[in-house]
Structure 1
Amino acid sequence: MKILLTGANGMVGQNVLAIASDYQHDFLSPSSSELNLLDAPSVHKYIDKHQPDMVVHAAGIVGGIQANMAKPVKFLVDNMLMGLNILTAANDAGVTRFLNLSSSCMYPRDAVNPLSEDLILKGELEPTNEGYALAKVTSTRLCEYICQENSIRLYKTIIPCNLYGRFDKFDPNHSHMIPAVIRKIDEAKRNNIAEIDIWGDGQARREFMYAEDLAEFIFYALDNFAAMPQNLNVGLGTDYTINEYYQAVSDVVGYTGEFKHDLSKPVGMRQKLIDDAKLKTFGWGYKTSLQAGIQKTYDFYLSEYCND
């Protein structure tokens, strides 16, 4: 197939393209300057010109708690517009297949874990990333509505757990947790800092999957798309505490200092673990362990950010 991949320069997009040569598909991977997803007319024009067989929508404004809390307008508006524009343009142009990447943050904050796919819009969202979650809920629902109106359309959504891996950002203020922690702990080791602070009590639980595993799932989904559920969680089905992630990174980096908990800081949801029952039925499972994934991510960080 000729596949339009949005967000080709993001972490997920780069991981997809890194293994694309192993599969029989041709990818259109425009930069944001070539395809401005915030400009509806240009999105329609691009799709009309290139006529992709399928769209994989991986673009988005992403970040951790700090970034979401600092710029909720951007996280809501930009992500909402991107989703609406690309979905509407693809549908109008007659593109029959669309794989929408959503996020487990769109599940209700007080839902019982593990989080199953039927919990969408069944409760209040987590305030610390509500704008991003609202945008993701909208795109997910729009895929469902398009399929309801036209039985020829296969517009489906995957709901990954938290991600980390190669091509991630390692910015303490704007990146996801694991890459931020890798940089934080590596710098503490280099500067002989004896104590590192952790937001909250460190007991909140999170599920993080190595991003290359998600890329491999996407290719599995492309080959089995008709059989894939409308909405599908993609993750590990197991989680760890924030303290355990800090310790796992410390073990890989070789940091032997202490941790201090800052109880004045927000921690987000206490737990966010996806239900992987449908994923197992679909026939796919992750392969990269936490330690192996952190080691590969740390190696990438050292090669890309620490060459001085």
Structure 2
Amino acid sequence: MAKKKLLLTGASGMVGRNILEHPAAADWEILAPSSKELDLTDSHATDAYLTHYQPHIVIHAAGQVGGIQANMAHPVAFLERNTAIGRNIIMAAYKANVKQFLNLASTCMYPRVAGNPLRETMILTGELEPTNEGYAIAKIMATRLCQYIRREDETALFKTILPCNLYGRHDKFDPKNSHLLPAIIHKIHMAKERGDRTVEIWGDGEARREFMYAADLADAVMKAAEDMISLPDLMNCGLGHDYSINDYYRIVANVIGWTGEFTYDLTKPVGMKQKLCSTELQSAWGFSSPTSLEDGIRSTYDFYLNEKKK
């Protein structure tokens, strides 16, 4: 029997590569065009691609991503490019009569002062976090577009997963565009290499974050692809518990074997004080993240070391 066709956007990114490496990927005929093969900012090219290939399902993992520094430095790109990409792929799929679409969004869509844990009903109930507002607005647009399509056509299973912060194999470690955890791995590795006795932390280290191993998100994505009917229309995907910034620095230092001390720059921005997902819907759907933080960091550090050897 012929395999069903799955279109994966963002296949060269961390999430996309973890999906491609997932054992269940072998059950699908996967289309994974590069940005050169399919420019998602070009609506006509995107329409033509979807019309030609007619995938059974689209998993949308593409976008311009980065940490606080990148978001603050390039707000135009984070808003404009991500809005165009989201609109084009969602509408192209809908116009091509693709009935299953899995949109990967972000917990940065939640209001900056929302009570934790963050529940899916809280979106658009308050002001966004300024340090990543452009990216959040683009993700809200794509999520709402999927909801509106579903409202107009109940046969269109256009649904959204909101992953918490992610890390893992194929992450970005360059401080200019990395997220917190890979940035910590790079920073502490370099401190060990140079023999530094101190490493600086932005803020007081008490802000809390929830980071899930990217291969675990791939588990959830492939489970959803097999049964989009049971997936809630909008669902967080996370651990259901979090750690302080200080915890992440300490655990990374233990994994790497760096024994220095931490200093604090209280003038630097730290973003939201806490961003913890409610996992009630996820648990009811039958999924939990299996990888411990220590094991995930160890695997990610091994990947980092292998990449540096290339």
Same fold (TM over 0.5): yes
Query: How many Å separate the matches in 2 of 1:262 and 1:78?
Result: 32
Q: Which amino acid aligns with 1:58?
A: A
CA contact (8 A) 2:24 2:222 kept: no
Residue aligning to 2:61: 58
Question: Equivalent of 2:27, from 14, 24, 29?
Answer: 24
Distance of 1:123 and 1:14 partners within structure 2? 34
Alignment partners' CA distance in 1, 2:150 and 2:281? 20
Q: 1:178-229: per-residue Cα shift (whole Å, max 9, x none)?
A: 1111011001001001111101110000000000000011111112210111
Residue 214 of structure 2 is aligned to residue 238 of structure 1 = no
**Residue 150 of structure 1: how far off its partner (Å):** 0.9
| 1:193 aligns with one of 191, 196, 201 | 196
Counterparts of 1:89 and 1:172, CA distance in 2: 35
> Residue 229 of structure 2 corresponds to which residue in structure 1?
226
8 Å CA contact 2:67, 2:180 repeated in 1: yes
Structure 2: which 5+ runs fail to align? none
Q: What residue identity is the alignment partner of 2:223?
A: Y
Indicate which of 15, 18, 26 corresponds to 2:18. 15
AA paired with 1:286?
Answer: S
* Partner SS, residue 229 of structure 2: helix
Identity, % of aligned positions: 55
In structure 2, the residue corresponding to 1:159 is in which secondary structure? strand
Name the amino acid aligned to 1:108: P
Residue 146 of structure 1 deviates from its aligned partner by 0.3
TM-score, normalized by length of structure 1?
0.98
What CA deviation, in whole Å up to 9, does each residue of 1:156-186 have, x standing for no partner?
0000000000001111121111111101100
The question of 1:169 aligning with 2:172 is answered: yes
Q: Alpha-carbon deviations, 1:21-46, whole Å to 9, x = none?
A: 55411110000000100000000011
Summarize deviations over 1:61-83 as a string: whole Å, max 9, x none. 10110000000000000000000
Equivalent residue number for residue 263 of structure 2: 260
1:48-100 per-residue CA deviation (whole Å, 9 max, x = no partner) reads 11111110000011011000000000000000000000001000010000000
2:292 counterpart (277, 289, 293): 289
Q: Note if 1:178 corresponds to 2:181.
A: yes
Letter in 2 for 1:175: S
User: Against the structure 1 CA distance between its residues 113 and 21, is the aligned structure 2 distance closer, same or farther, given a 3 Å change threshold?
Assistant: closer
Question: Counterpart of 2:245 in structure 1: which amino acid?
Answer: I
Letter of the 2:148 counterpart? Y
- Give structure 1 stretches of 5+ with no counterpart: none
What CA deviation, in whole Å up to 9, does each residue of 1:268-305 have, x standing for no partner? 00000000000000001110000000000000000111
What amino acid is aligned across from residue 79 of structure 1 in structure 2?
A: N
Task: Give 2:304's aligned residue.
Answer: 301
Structure 1: which 4+ aligned runs deviate by more than 3 Å? 20-23
1:43 is matched with 46
Residue of structure 2 equivalent to 1:73 = 76
Work out whether 1:209 is the aligned partner of 2:212. yes
How many pairs are equivalent? 307
- Structure 1 residue 20, shift from structure 2 partner: 4.6
Specify the SS of the correspondent of 1:225: coil
- For 1:20 and 1:54, locate their aligned partners in 2 and report how far apart those are by CA, in whole Å: 18
Which region of structure 1 is more displaced relative to structure 2, 46-55 or 206-215? 46-55
Q: Which residue of 2 aligns with 1:160?
A: 163
Q: Secondary structure of 1:265's partner?
A: coil
**Equivalent runs, 1:92-103 vs 2, <5 Å:** 92-103=95-106
Amino acid corresponding to residue 230 of structure 2 in structure 1: A
User: Over aligned residue pairs, what C-alpha RMSD do you find?
Assistant: 0.9
**CA gap 1:106/1:270 in 2 versus in 1, 3 angstroms:** same
Residue in 1 aligned with 2:152? 149
